[in-house]
Structure 1
Amino acid sequence: MILTDRMKRTRQRCAVAKQRVAKLLSTATGLILTIAISFAIVILLILVLSDEPGRAIYFFFIGPFTKAYYLGNMLNQSIGLMFTGLGIAVAFKSSTFNLGGEGQAYSGALVATVILLALPNMPGIVGGPAALIGAVVIGAFVAGLSGFFKMRWGTDQLISSFLVSSAVILIVNYFVTGPLDDPTNSMLTTARIAEQYQLLLIFKPSKLDISIFFAVATAIGTYFFMQRSHWGYEMRMCGINREFSKYAGINVGKYLLVPMAISGGFHGLAGGITVMGTHYRCLKGVTAGLGWNGIAVALIAKNNPLAVIPAALFFAYLDAGAKAAMLHADVTFELAKIAQGVIFFLVTAQALYGLFDSKKKRKKVAR
C-alpha cells in the first residue's frame, strides 16, 4: 500500500515536470520564431530605406561585437535594465502596476550622489553601501506612495505612479540644475563623486563595472524570493486572484503596498549604480529611459526574474546595434527606433508564444 502511494506521487511529479518542460519549450520556440520574424522585418526595412543595406545590416547585428569598447558598454547598459526589469517584474507578478520608474530611478541617482558628496573622505566600503541604501529607500518611498494610495483610497496605480514620478523628475531637475549644480562644469550636473566610490571597471576601455555580477546575483535572489519564500508566495497568489487570496486569509491590502515598494527600491538601486558605475555624478536626465525600458525588459521576460537577465542583454544589444549602425552606416535615428519598436512589439506580443500549444490541443481533440 505504501509502495503504491509512493509510485502514484512519483508519477504525479513526473507528469507535472513534463508539463513544465513542454510549456517552457513551447514558450522558447515561440520566442525564437518571434525574434526571427522581427529580425527579418528589420532587414527588410533596411533594404528598402538604406543606400548601403549590407553595411547597415552588418553593423546593426554584428556591430556590438566588433570592438571591446562596444561590447563592454552594451553589457554595462544591461545592468540598469536588469534592476528596473526586476522591479517591474515583481510589481506585475503581484498584479500591481508601476509606471513611475523614471522618477524612482532618477531620485535614487540624486540621493546616492548627495550622500557620496556629503561623505568625501569616508572609506568606499562604508559610503558606497550607504549611498545605495539611500537610493533604495527613496525609490521604495516614491513607489510606495502609489501603493499606499491604492490601499487607502483605491487610487489607480497606473495614474498615481506616473503622476508622482513626473513630479519627482521636476524636483530632481531643480536640485541638479540649482543648489547642487557644479559651477566648474559646462553641463547641467552635480560635482563628481570621490574616487573611492567609483565602481571597479572590469573591461576597459569600456564602462563595464563589477556591478554586473551584483545585478545577476540580485536577479537569482529575486527568483528564489518570489518562488520559495512565504512573502513571494502570497504576492504571486494576489497577482493570480486577489479575491481568492483575500478569502484564503492573505492580507491583500499589504500586497498593494509591498510589491510597489520593492519595485521602487529596484529602480532607485538602478539609479544609484548608474551614478557610481558609469557617470560618477548626477547629470540632468542621467537615468532617462531606464524606467520605460525596464517595462519592455519585464514584458520580454514575461515577469520571470531569471529571464530578466537575457531580456536586459537582448534590449542592450538592440540599442548598441542601432547606435553602431547609425555611426558606421547611413541608418538614421528614426530608422533605428522603428526597427527597435518592431522587434519589441513582436517579442512582447502573445500571438506566437502559444502557437505550438494550440496545435497540440487541436491534435488531441482530433484524436
Structure 2
Amino acid sequence: MQDYRNFEPEELAIDLSFQRWKLFNDPIASNFWKGWLVENPDKKELVDKAYYLLNTLNNAYSQTPDDRISISDREIQYEIQRLHQSIDTQHEPVVKRLRFAPWQYGIAASILVILGLFWRYSIHPPCTKVDVTYNELITQTSRPLIEIGNQDIKPRLVSLPDGSTLLLKSGGRISYPKNFQESIREVYLTGEAFFEVHKDPSKPFYVYSKGLVTKVLGTSFTVQAFENDKEVKVVVKTGKVSVFARNETALTQHKEDTKLEGIVLTPNQQIVFSPTSTRIIKSVVEEPALLHGTAQNQPFRFKGTPIAEVFATLEKSYGIKIVFDEEVMKSCYLTASLDDEPLFEKLDLICNTISARYEQLDAHIIIDSKGCEN
C-alpha cells in the first residue's frame, strides 16, 4: 500500500501507476490519479515535479538502442546536476544527451534513484522525527488538565466539556481542560479510544496522540496510540477526519484554519502512522461496514446488471471509490445475490465471475479487467 502524500518527487516518478498515467495515459491509472488530486489538491506541486523528472528523462532517452550513446558515470552525474539546477530554477528541461527507449525503464529508474538522493539531501533533508510521549504532550500545555484513566477490562465512558463523549479502552488515559477555549477543543490520549465528537464547525476538535494530530469538526472515529507501540492508527466510522504529523509549522497552519486539510479520511478509511519516520499510510479498513443511514438489509441482488451499476451500488453503500475502465468493461454484466457477504468477499465473487481482479491503492479499489465477451 502506497502513501503518496509522503512521497518525494523522485519516488513518485518511478512509481509504475504514476508512469502508466503520465506516459501511457492508462485509463484506470488516469482515473485514480485524477481522483487523488481532487482529494489532495495541496499535492499538485509534488505531481508537477515528479512529472517534470519523468518527462525530462523520458525525452532524453527517446532514441532507439542503436542510436543510444554510451554514457560514463561522470557524464550521468553531470546531467543529473544540470537537471537538478533546472528544477531548482524552474527552467525548461536541459538534459539532451541521455537517451532511452521505453524498454529501458530499469536504467531510467536507476538514474532517478541517484537523482532522488541528490534531490533529497541537497534540497530536502530527511524529515525530523516527531515521536513524542503522552507525558511530554501534557507537560507542554500551560493550561491545567483533568486526567482520566481506565484500569478496568471494560471500556470507560468519558464525557467532555462540550458534550462530546469517548469510550476509553483498558489501559488508556485521556487529558483535557475543564473548559475548552473559545476557538479550539484539545485532548491528549494514550491508549485506545472511540470518540463521538459534538459537531461545531467553528471550533475544531484536536486529538494529540504521540506524533499524530487528528482534527475533526464533528464525527465518530477511533484512535489507537499505545505508548509501547511503534504505530498510531486512526479509523473513521462517520463523517470526515483530518490527520497530520505533529510539528510547530503544521500546528500553526491547521489552527489558523477551521477547514479539514492534510490527509482527509472518510467512513471505512484508516491511516497507520509511524512517528519515527513520519510516514502515514492510508487504506480501506479490514472489514468495511455499510454507511450510516444505508439500510442494513440493502439488497445486493443483480440480474444481468451492467457492471458499472454494480460498482456504483457498492460505492454508495460503503463510501469507497471503485476505479475501473468503463469503456473496457461495458460488455460486463452480473447476475448474483451478494446480500450477506462482506465487501471484499463481494468483490472476490464479482471479479471471479467476470474474470477481473482488484487491488487496494490509497483507500481506493482498483479493478483490472480485459473486458467481457459479448
TM score, norm. by length of structure 1:
0.23
More helix by share: 1
Select the structure with the greater relative contact order (CA < 8 A; seq sep ≥ 6): 1
Name the larger-Rg structure.
2
Larger strand fraction of residues = 2
